[in-house]
Chain A
Amino acid sequence: MKFRVNIIKNRCKECGICIGVCPTKVLVKGDKHNEHGFRYPLPANIDRCIGCRLCEYNCPDFAIFVEVVKK
């Protein structure tokens, strides 16, 4: 299974929870700021994603969600 991690960058508030809860360290803090001045994460290691959705469920801002792209 392959997954895509979508980040709605302008909703992100740089709380860091998604990066912290990911069990396989898919996400890293990005360098770019969104329009509110927050640095949103990037799924730098997407190949490691197991689709657990902990990032999606623990994001307080509805800013990240996981999609299955290949079965």
Chain B
Amino acid sequence: MVVSALESSHPLDKYLRTARLPHIWCPGCGLGIALGGIMRAIDRRIKEGTLKKENLVFVTGIGCSARTSFYVNFDAAHTLHGRAIAFATGAKLAKPELEVVVIGGDGDIAGIGGNHLLHAAKRNMDLIVLMITNFVYAMTGGQVAPTTPLGLYTTTTPHGNPEPPLNVVKVVSSLNANYVARASVTHPALIEQYMYKALGMRGFRFIEILSTCPEIFGRHIGMRDPFTLYNTLKSKVVVKQSPSIEESDLDWGKGFVIGEYLVRENPGYSDRIRRGSK
């Protein structure tokens, strides 16, 4: 019975600030699963030579998802709530060889950051935006979020959420993005696959990653055990090749269709702006 490896280390350790592990995310938090999938895609791209480690920059806002900046052994920025996309746009335009990846929660990206999300997608800005949807504002204790199911108890909707949830995949698909996909932490291989694909494209690439939040969202729906929540989410997820937007509703009742909703190769913002000699 082997307990811990003394000779070898976790294959992704070279991409992590291991001195800061264990990370602060709760037991069973999907963020760690998502980060693993993302890192594996980055690892493949670096190994095959299509991505240089020093060109990758992570930009995050505020929230549990945003803490990713702490743990990645790359250039990273932990900025302001909702403003990561704006910061990332400035960095990318100032230094086009950077590959800038924004990671944020649904509240950060589609709530307070909604306007920046819309306009970055509209201008097909050359960014990868990963929105981790856990259906609640977790870091601050469980308030209602843009994706919270209708009728659910949250700390700020104790009589039940009166708002239907926002289908961000549908909204972003209606703009000029080059890539829109939905993944789930219950299917980590697809997170890696979609991220790998996105790293090879230009323009605005958006991936919503459905995630488990046992401590906060799990508490609101009476499911705090991590594996139970994981399995429940998994049972609601359907994988489809090239699903259509009509199937993209974010609905715990109907289930979640994950897949690549939109794949195009239109010129990105960087292709369209004029830049003279320095």
Q: Do A and B come from one complex?
A: yes
Instruction: Show the binding face of A for B, using Cβ within 8 Å.
Output: 4-11, 13-17, 19-20, 36, 38, 40, 42-44, 46, 56-63, 65, 67
> What residues of A have a CB within 8 angstroms of the CB of B21 in the complex?
11, 61-62
Interface of A (DSSP majority class): mixed
Q: A13-B22, A42-B1, A62-B10 in contact; A57/B226 too (CB < 8 A)?
A: no
Instruction: Indicate if B2 sits at the interface (CB-CB under 8 A).
Output: yes
- The range of chain B's interface size is 35 or more
Q: A59-B36, A65-B10, A65-B11 are in contact. Are A14 and B27 (CB under 8 A)?
A: yes
Q: Is B188 an interface residue (CB 8 A)?
A: yes
Measured CB to CB, the closest approach of chain B to A16, in angstroms, equals 4
* CB of A33 to closest CB in B, whole Å: 13
Whether A60 pairs with B3 at a CB distance below 8 angstroms is no
Instruction: Determine the distance from Cα of A43 to Cα of B1 in the docked complex, in whole angstroms.
Output: 7
Pairs A–B under 8 Å by Cβ, sample size 20? A4-B2, A6-B4, A15-B27, A15-B28, A16-B28, A16-B226, A17-B227, A20-B230, A46-B1, A57-B33, A57-B37, A58-B33, A59-B36, A60-B29, A60-B30, A60-B31, A61-B23, A62-B10, A62-B13, A63-B22
